[in-house]
A and B are shown apart, each in its own frame.
Chain A
């Protein structure tokens, strides 16, 4: 399978704990995006990388959230001191960095439940 993969698919944690999610984009895609989606709403943009550079970060991304893409391939999203409001589906998407490479391809998501 050469699509976007995300791990874990599900995560249950207690309030106050730290969690880390991983995203492996389609191999030839330079751009990588993180979104958060709650029930009944569309995905909300969190952050975006081109290669290893984090080019944009939403105001939704509080200081408890950090994302990295150290070698320009896979990316990690860490949430520190989780809160119940962090419960959501975290989606990763990738796209190629060329003029016609506008389409973002989504991974299956990581569903987080904070108890």
Chain B
């Protein structure tokens, strides 16, 4: 089976940096994804890691350590619009992806 853990809630200040952690235990691994989801909307793709290391994309970066079953999403220069749920998802194969329950990030002025 697959188990994905991420914090339920986080709060940060506008302009700051926040790191959202994700740990996973899976029976197979074919990549880890981070999605952003605003309330009432569908998830939108942020990043994808399949090899160990850091992937940077503008204000967002994602890190993966396969040996530790660990990933984090780093958000820099936080903006109010970054308030959303951030979902960590692990793909086992070409089909099924297992999602965590998401981390609700609140950005305060």
Contact = CB atoms under 8 A, between A and B. Distances in A.
B42 A42 contact: no
B94 A31 contact: yes
Interface stretch (A43-51, A62-70, A71-79, A80-88): A43-51
B45 A103 contact: yes
A106 B99 contact: no
A112 interface: no
Interface residues of B, number: 24
Interface size class of chain A, counting residues whose CB lies under 8 Å from the partner chain:
20 to 34
A45 B42 contact: no
B95 A102 contact: no
B45 A105 contact: yes
Contacts of B30: 102
Interface string B42-55: 11110010100000
A45 B4 CA distance: 14
Interface string B32-48: 01010000011111001
